[in-house]
């Protein structure tokens, strides 16, 4: 059908033509003419792009649709903070992986810290709406892309090992290292790593085992490795040590890694040691009188007594914490309220309140042993985050390769987390707020491209959030205003050497 004359007469850009397309308000499209081509003896015009439409008797030019525009409001503070303390990890990844793969690993790990339990299907959305897309632009993080990438990452197992070994080689001599393992729930029926562990009867789930090496001094994970949930600690620890190249450290084990197995595992590495807590009813405590303490730890924040005793081939270390003893005694009284009083049982328990005894082949100062024990909660916190940082979802293929690849990314995330925790402690924001509260505040701090010209501005937020950002160095403090001028005439400066004026009104004619 021909275009009506009144439509064709509407004022529009030169070198354009009106074409009818379908029905509705956009039926009359205005198309630009970009030239012509010779076909036989005729010149045939060549149409270009649609530049607008005739709507309600007026020309309306085409604009960029909002669906294709760039995002101009992004999450800012959390991404920038994590990158500021973790950017060295990207350099470590460059040493092993290609630049594109290293940036993809780094981006996924950082997003998993900012958005815990984020599924792979939503990674790209968070990437586009956060400052991550400004730090490392152009990284494809679609659902299928990430799923395939994690599989390929797990298939390239030697590169994961090379990365872990490089971190081990970078350790300073004399670093105190704790080695421990944890179980992570994985009920997949596809991969061979998911299996029944020793805690299956209590938890009712299948697990995988993740073994960590943790730097006690730096308070940061060094390396990790994934095993099946049914692998014995003694087997997994030996394999972990040989694969990572660790030749120094202290294994903080439990009943799954007894002293005999530890001695066999570390026979070839004299700088590897084991440290096991023993039960309070162990006969060696009484036979060596380990509750007769011989010294006090030089720590202003703790009241701890200790004793060190050498036994054939290893040492016993006992400690008494006054604060812990008071808590355990209070718990004892609370549990025994309303029960028959047993003076003998109370006397026996009273001797054990606040005590802990270790056996180890490490000959060192008791201060070092107790520090490892006292820092154990940091390892448990690291494990807790490591378990909850991500969940298996329907976008992941639960093969062994995917598990290895995803857990490697989780390891990078756990290192990032420990580094921002150190930042929080150093700046003092942990004094009044929890980790979750701080991250929630940081996620509310955004930047906006108000004019659409790339000039990003910080979006004002609450005073409390801005104070946190200032402490963390993410926002400059406001310039202090000059003090307000007091009302009234300002006082004149008085020369202390000038003669004082006589009292009263001066005469008109002093002579």
Q: Across-strand partners of 314?
A: 311
Is the pLDDT at 225 greater than 70, yes or no?
Answer: yes
**pLDDT value at residue 349:** 76
**pLDDT value at residue 1:** 61
Is the pLDDT at 366 greater than 60, yes or no?
Answer: yes
Least confident of 91-95, 168-172, 277-281, 384-388: 384-388
**pLDDT value at residue 397:** 46
Is the pLDDT at 388 greater than 60, yes or no?
Answer: no
Residue that has been written with the tokens 């929630």 in this structure: 440
Q: How far apart are CA 87 and CA 226, in angstroms?
A: 25
Share of the chain above pLDDT 90, in %: 28
DSSP letter (8 states) at residue 451: T
pLDDT tens by residue, 348-364: 777 788 898 988 888 88
Q: How far apart are CA 121 and CA 116, in angstroms?
A: 14
Tell whether pTM > 0.85: no
**pLDDT value at residue 259:** 64
Report the candidate in 461, 408, 380, 423 with the shortest Cα–Cα distance to residue 112: 408
Is the pLDDT at 68 greater than 80, yes or no?
Answer: no
Is the pLDDT at 446 greater than 50, yes or no?
Answer: yes
Buried b / exposed e along 286-316 (16+ C-beta atoms within 10 A): eebebbebeeebeeeeeebbbbbbeeeebbb
Q: Provide the 10 A C-beta neighbour count for residue 421.
A: 20
Least confident of 48-52, 167-171, 182-186: 182-186
**pLDDT value at residue 149:** 94
Q: How far apart are CA 36 and CA 81, in angstroms?
A: 57
pLDDT band at residue 396, thresholds of 50, 70 and 90? Answer: very low
Task: Give the phi and the psi of residue 305 in degrees, each rounded to 5.
Answer: -100, 155
pLDDT tens by residue, 411-434: 999 899 889 988 998 999 988 888
Share of the chain above pLDDT 70, in %: 84
pLDDT tens by residue, 299-349: 877 889 999 999 888 899 999 998 888 888 888 888 888 888 877 777 777
Residues 453-458, mean pLDDT to the nearest whole number: 86
Q: How far apart are CA 324 and CA 304, in angstroms?
A: 10
Is the pLDDT at 184 greater than 70, yes or no?
Answer: no
What count of residues does the chain have?
511
| Residue 461: both structure tokens together | 């937020």
pLDDT band at residue 200, thresholds of 50, 70 and 90? Answer: low
Q: How far apart are CA 343 and CA 334, in angstroms?
A: 16
Report the candidate in 61, 62, 63, 59 with the shortest Cα–Cα distance to residue 11: 59
**pLDDT value at residue 205:** 62
Residue bearing the bigger pLDDT, 123 or 278 = 123
pLDDT tens by residue, 295-308: 998 887 788 999 99
């Amino acid at each position: 059908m021909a275009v009506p004359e009144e439509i064709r007469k509407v004022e529009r850009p030169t070198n354009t033509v009106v074409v009818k397309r379908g029905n509705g308000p956009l039926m009359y499209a205005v198309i630009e003419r970009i030239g012509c081509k010779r076909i036989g003896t005729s010149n045939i015009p060549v149409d270009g792009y649609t530049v607008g439409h005739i709507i309600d008797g007026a020309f309306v030019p085409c604009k960029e649709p909002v669906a294709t525009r760039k995002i101009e409001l992004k999450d800012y503070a959390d991404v920038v903070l994590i990158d500021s303390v973790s950017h060295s990890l990207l350099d470590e990844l460059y040493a092993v992986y290609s630049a594109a793969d290293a940036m993809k690993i780094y981006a996924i790990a950082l997003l998993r810290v900012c958005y815990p339990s984020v599924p792979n299907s939503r990674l790209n959305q968070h990437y586009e709406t956060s400052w991550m897309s400004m730090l490392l632009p152009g990284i494809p993080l679609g659902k299928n892309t990430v799923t395939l990438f994690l599989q390929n990452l797990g298939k390239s197992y030697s590169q994961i090992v090379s990365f872990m070994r490089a971190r081990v080689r970078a350790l300073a001599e004399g670093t105190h290292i704790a080695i421990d393992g944890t179980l992570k729930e994985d009920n997949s029926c596809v991969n061979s790593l998911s299996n029944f562990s020793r805690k299956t009867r209590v938890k009712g789930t299948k697990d995988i085992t993740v073994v960590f090496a943790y730097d006690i001094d730096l308070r940061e994970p060094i390396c990790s490795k994934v095993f099946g949930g049914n692998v014995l600690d003694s087997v997994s620890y030996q394999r972990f040590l040989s694969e990572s190249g660790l030749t120094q450290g202290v294994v903080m084990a439990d009943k799954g890694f007894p002293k005999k197995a530890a001695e066999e595992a570390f026979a070839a590495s004299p700088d590897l040691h084991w440290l096991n807590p023993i039960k309070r009813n162990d006969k060696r405590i009484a036979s060596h009188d380990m509750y007769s303490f011989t010294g006090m730890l030089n720590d202003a924040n703790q009241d701890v007594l200790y004793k060190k005793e050498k036994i054939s081939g290893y040492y016993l270390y006992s400690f008494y914490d006054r604060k812990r003893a008071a808590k355990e005694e209070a718990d004892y009284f609370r549990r025994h309220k309303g029960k028959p009083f047993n003076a003998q049982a109370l006397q026996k328990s009273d001797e054990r309140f606040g005590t802990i005894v270790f056996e180890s082949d490490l000959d060192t100062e008791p201060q070092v042993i107790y520090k490892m024990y006292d820092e154990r909660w940091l390892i448990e916190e690291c494990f807790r985050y490591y378990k909850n940082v991500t969940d298996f979802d329907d976008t992941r293929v639960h093969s062994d390769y995917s598990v290895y690849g995803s857990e490697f990314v989780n390891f990078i995330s756990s290192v990032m987390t420990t580094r921002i925790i150190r930042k929080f402690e150093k700046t003092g924001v942990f004094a009044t707020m929890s980790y979750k509260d701080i991250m929630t505040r940081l996620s509310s701090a955004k930047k906006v491209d108000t004019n659409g010209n790339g000039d990003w501005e910080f979006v004002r937020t609450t005073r409390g959030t801005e104070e946190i950002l200032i402490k963390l160095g993410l926002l400059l403090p406001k310039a202090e205003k000059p003090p307000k001028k007091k009302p009234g005439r300002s006082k004149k400066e008085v020369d202390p050497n000038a003669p004082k004026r006589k009292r009263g009104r001066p005469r008109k004619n002093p002579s």
